[in-house]
Amino acid sequence: MNGPAAAGGAVGRALDLACRACAVLGGLLLAGLALAVVGSIAGRACCDAPVPGDYELAQIAVAVAVSLCLPWCQLHRGHIAVDFFTTRLAPRRQIRLDALGALILALVCGLLAWRTGVGAADMFAAGETTMILGFPLWLGYAAAVPGLALAGVAALYGAAHDWRRSYRWP
């Protein structure tokens, strides 16, 4: 384990477990989608019978899978960091900038989770579905909310960890 969860005791381990479970679900969702796409391509090539609505399924599944993988990526510092302008700063300042970035990300993820939840409720109330399959759109929105919320929690945890670490810097 690396990143803030490695040094976080029971809370860090619990958060790591939740983030890992979300990432595994996201990976399983993508694996299932890959099988569906292969089946659709094979059906189209061999039998002129693609999987109906494969594009709709792909759009929803990828959006949900990405939201489910974000928490683990954030907790383990897997995002791309552009540090071109900060490489000459003192390590303590770099850590504090990382904490500020994580705090901003936590706020953005919280906002996204909230608005995605509101969007799911609106889609449910309106009864909106996909064009081909008639799949309820609110399900895709609702499935993305836990990953976005957990990514916000992971970012907040990382911000607090970095801020504390900046005061213990030698």
- Which two three-digit tokens encode residue 69? 């993988």
User: Domain boundaries in the chain?
Assistant: 4-79+88-167
Its pTM stands at 0.89
pLDDT in the model for residue 169: 62
Task: Tell me: pLDDT of 87 over 70.
Answer: yes
What pLDDT does 27 receive? 97
User: 34-38, 61-65, 145-149 — which is least confidently predicted?
Assistant: 34-38
Helix axes 54-75, 137-167, angle to 10 degrees: 10
- Mean pLDDT of the residues in the chain: 91
Q: What is the pLDDT of residues 121-162, one digit of tens each?
A: 999 999 999 999 999 999 999 999 999 999 999 999 999 999
